[in-house]
Amino acid sequence: MVFKYDEHNKYHRMLRLGIITAVSLVVFLMIWWAISVIANNAAIPDPWETFAALADLIQNGDAVTGKSLGDYIAASLSKFIQGFLLALIIALPVGLLLGNFKFLREFTTPWIEVLRPIAPIAWAPIFILLFGYINGATLVVFIGIFFPLLTNIIFGVTKIDPVLIDASKTLGASNLQIFTKVLIPSTVPYLMNGVKVGLGIGWMCIVAAELYATPLGGIGFYVANMITYGAFPQAFAGIIIIAVLGLLTTGLAEYVSKRVSKRMGLDA
């Protein structure tokens, strides 16, 4: 029997995408392998050495420090989550305030526009000097997540449909009720978008901070440490872990934000 692809069959579409993705990954590995062969440099290990090192890392942990992969991931994630929560706790009220009050928004815009484009990792030396390794790194993550969150929340508040405010007024809502029952819910999808963008940046920030300041531990430390030992396959294995965790974080954020948007009736 000849297989016939049917665009309207859900399983056919999934199968198609699955095959494309699998072939794409194989091609990716081939290119990687080719580069390592052509470069013929110890700093670029081939995929098979790397996967062997990865399997070893997962099974036996770090031979140098004796720590397990789980320890490293936990160290990175705990700082990441702290930085994220701190950013959320501060950006939410500040964003609602700046979105609501035009004067405050106009007054603080220069501050935000000056601080926002600075790469978060540029703050690392100063923060680590001022607040120590652990808190300094948390603050780097905080900076990375804070600005995308803040600007998205402000945008959400200013983008609220004025007719919804009119409607709530003619239904007798007080200003406080308009704030809690109309303004905040209508901002949630924008907040989620900020979370989505912020998580991606925040994950990059924590790894960068760990590479920069190795006493922090974490998966970034593992990569930096392996490079100083010249254990390049191990370093690459660490990079793969970073990529997979980053993918999981943004994938989770994407999923949650989609669900929230749908719940809030904004999946256009």
Partner 1 sequence: MSKQKIKIEGDKWNSERVRADRTDELYKDIPEGDTLMSIDNLRVIYQTDEKETVAVENVTFDIKKGELVSIVGPSGCGKTTILRCIAGLLQPTSGKIMIGQNECSTPGSDRGMVFQDFALFPWRTVRQNVEFGMEVAGVEKEERRERAMKYIKAVGLEKFADSRIHELSGGMKQRVGIARALVMHPAVILMDEPFGALDAQTRNIMQDQLTKIITHSERTILFVTHSVDEALYLSDRVVILTKRPSTIYKVVDVPWDRPRDRTNPEFTELRRKILNYLEEQNVMD
Report the distance separating Cα 154 and Cα 196, nearest Å.
Answer: 16
Q: SS3 for 60?
A: helix
Measured from the CB atom, the residue of 78 and 177 that comes closer to partner 1 is 177
Site string for partner 1, 170-209 (x = CB under 8 A): xxxxx--x---xx--xx-x---------------------
Measured from the CB atom, the residue of 114 and 163 that comes closer to partner 1 is 163
Measured from the CB atom, the residue of 6 and 267 that comes closer to partner 1 is 267
Local structure of residue 181 (DSSP, 8 states): I
Site string for partner 1, 153-172 (x = CB under 8 A): --------x-xx-xxxxxxx
Local structure of residue 98 (DSSP, 8 states): H
The answer to whether 232 and 43 are in contact (CB under 8 A) is yes
Q: What is the CA radius of gyration of the chain?
A: 23
Q: Is 106 in the site for partner 1 (CB under 8 A)?
A: no
| Cβ 265 to partner 1 shortest distance, Å | 3
Measured from the CB atom, the residue of 159 and 263 that comes closer to partner 1 is 263
Give the chain's end-to-end CA distance (angstroms, integer).
41
Measured from the CB atom, the residue of 174 and 228 that comes closer to partner 1 is 174
| Element at 156 (helix H, strand E) | helix 124-158
Measured from the CB atom, the residue of 119 and 164 that comes closer to partner 1 is 164
User: CA 200, 193, 154: angle at the middle one, nearest 5?
Assistant: 115
Report the distance separating Cα 144 and Cα 198, nearest Å.
Answer: 7
| Cβ 258 to partner 1 shortest distance, Å | 14
| Cβ 128 to partner 1 shortest distance, Å | 42
Report the distance separating Cα 98 and Cα 168, nearest Å.
Answer: 22
Tokens representing 80 are 């990441």
Tell the burial category of 121 from Cβ atoms under 10 Å away from its Cβ (0-12, 13-18, 19+). middle
Site string for partner 1, 32-71 (x = CB under 8 A): ----------------------------------------
Site string for partner 1, 229-268 (x = CB under 8 A): ----------------------------------xxxxxx
| Cβ 264 to partner 1 shortest distance, Å | 4
Measured from the CB atom, the residue of 16 and 262 that comes closer to partner 1 is 262
Cβ atoms within 10 Å of 113's Cβ, excluding its own = 10
Which residues contact partner 1 (rule: CB under 8 A)?
161, 163-164, 166-174, 177, 181-182, 185-186, 188, 263-268
